[in-house]
Structure 1
């Protein structure tokens, strides 16, 4: 009996393994063709000069050396760092909004949906909407400021105002997803902790500081890591709204990388920039994980 069932089990196991490999094959092949191979090719191209029309020529480390000497690269890095100011502002406002919408108020689900709407909207539609809002003559923002006797600036045409305008737009667009994450975190805080704090005489701000905030540090850490990675790759809004202008004032590192690749066809230099960005993202993420040990609190059961 056992001798008869053993071959059957073996054939069934082989059949299951076959179907398993068959289902895994398409995504695996997709990754190899559209992920792994382009990554290896970009690494090879980073050490060459290639304009997509003539054969690539070996250039050594010249592309990487140019990253540190190109003034526009340095300006794009500075612009990207300025846009980083929107990360802590957006996190703080998202937490405040989540706490406001975590209460039992009438229509709370409607408000949550409204604030989350930008996350599921097309980046093109949102960028065109904000381009109209920032219009210096007929834009909604400047028309509103005129009610108080304030003449609004040329938001996207003035080098001094284009980055604050992009930060404002980025904060608005990122509040919805972060709010949802914070709402999930708030609803996971045990009510018994608030009850114990109230018995000890803790005021609302003390409950937030010593109960709410420690329990939300894992959520804050995740939002911070993802927001930093997103800020380092800021591209879509720049491409649609400003094209890096005026006077390179809104040219981010990612947009300049795209320009080098698909406007000037300097694929070798663009590949080197991409690898430098990838190394920076990995390094910054590792630093964040190291620092997380000092301030992120994980509840132990």
Structure 2
């Protein structure tokens, strides 16, 4: 009898069942994911749902919101003239900035990847402008491109070129803002540079043995290898242009000679509404005229357009990757 009891006492405990082990793993994973999930709910899901709700109301931040259905959306597409100007300016920036920003970053990264000496210094100098605060960088550009005493126009006069009015001209203000955006595209350049350095050298050697020149190697080896990064750059540039706010509002105010960037509505979009972008008009409607319901409808439309561009580009990337694999 004693032997039987000691044998039972020495027996190992039963192993946990697979069901209990799986449930414990799920609880552990859920515990670690809880902060991220809570942040998603508080800072993304709730604001998104609230914005959609307020877009269906008349709300002035003081009185309770009144449900009016889709009247704000109807107003956007029928009886709002300045939103068309803002949409055109934003679409212009989307097209020009996306093409120029990705091309410029790819060109600079290609040059840096071929340097033999001073790579770290050049890379740092090209990246530093992206760290400048947008408001300070815009004020500096307005000074540099001043039509009367700006250093850029003075230099152009020395070589016999008329520099123009830049930020004081309705036709030159958006190109000037594009130059400002290109100057601060060092972050995208660093990402593309990392992708270029990650391309296997064996592919270039094989293409060179097949008689491919520099242009064909770039077209058939470099571009296919970094196509996912370029797609990311296009998506990033589109979203960047769709959210173009600080530079536009500061440039319009500073070019008009106002020290108060957001305090006087007559300087918003100067000159002649050429710097009036969609986010700037959204800000004016929501926080200047207190049409928060209408501003929420504009924000929902901006979100849908951004998500649509992203979905199309990601789908095209997956399709091209599938074709390359097959």
Give the TM-score taking structure 1 as reference length.
Answer: 0.89
Deviations 1:130-154 (A, max 9, x none): 1211222222211211212333322
- Partner SS, residue 132 of structure 1: helix
Aligned counterparts, 1:206-221, within 5 A: 206-221=216-231
CA RMSD, aligned part only? 2.8
User: How far 1:258 moved relative to its partner?
Assistant: 1.2
1:74 corresponds, among 84, 89, 92, to: 84
- Structure 1 residues 33 and 154: alpha-carbon distance in aligned structure 2, compared to 1, 3 A threshold: same
2:208 corresponds, among 198, 206, 218, to: 198
Gaps of 5+ in 2: 1-9, 253-267
- Structure 1 residues 2 and 11: alpha-carbon distance in aligned structure 2, compared to 1, 3 A threshold: farther
User: How far 1:15 moved relative to its partner?
Assistant: 9.3
Are residue 163 (structure 1) and residue 174 (structure 2) matched?
yes
Aligned to 1:284: 309
Q: Quick check: 1:215–1:298 contact (8 Å CA) kept in 2?
A: no
Deviations 1:170-215 (A, max 9, x none): 12212x1222122111112111111111212221112112211221
Gaps of 5+ in 1: none
Aligned to 2:98: 87
- Structure 1 residues 240 and 5: alpha-carbon distance in aligned structure 2, compared to 1, 3 A threshold: farther
User: How far 1:22 moved relative to its partner?
Assistant: 5.9
Deviations 1:254-277 (A, max 9, x none): 111111111111000000011111
User: How far 1:126 moved relative to its partner?
Assistant: 1.4
Aligned counterparts, 1:127-142, within 5 A: 127-142=138-153
Are residue 253 (structure 1) and residue 264 (structure 2) matched?
no
Q: Quick check: 2:86–2:281 contact (8 Å CA) kept in 1?
A: yes
- Partner SS, residue 53 of structure 2: helix
CA distance in 1, matches of 2:307, 2:30: 31
CA distance in 2, matches of 1:240, 1:297: 45
Computing the radius of gyration from Cα coordinates, the structure with the larger value is 2
1:224 corresponds, among 220, 234, 244, to: 234
CA distance in 2, matches of 1:14, 1:209: 51
Deviations 1:7-57 (A, max 9, x none): 8xx999999988866654444434333332222111111011111111211
Give the TM-score taking structure 2 as reference length.
Answer: 0.82
CA distance in 2, matches of 1:220, 1:156: 30
How many residue pairs get aligned? The number is 300
- Structure 1 residues 18 and 282: alpha-carbon distance in aligned structure 2, compared to 1, 3 A threshold: closer
CA distance in 2, matches of 1:208, 1:17: 47
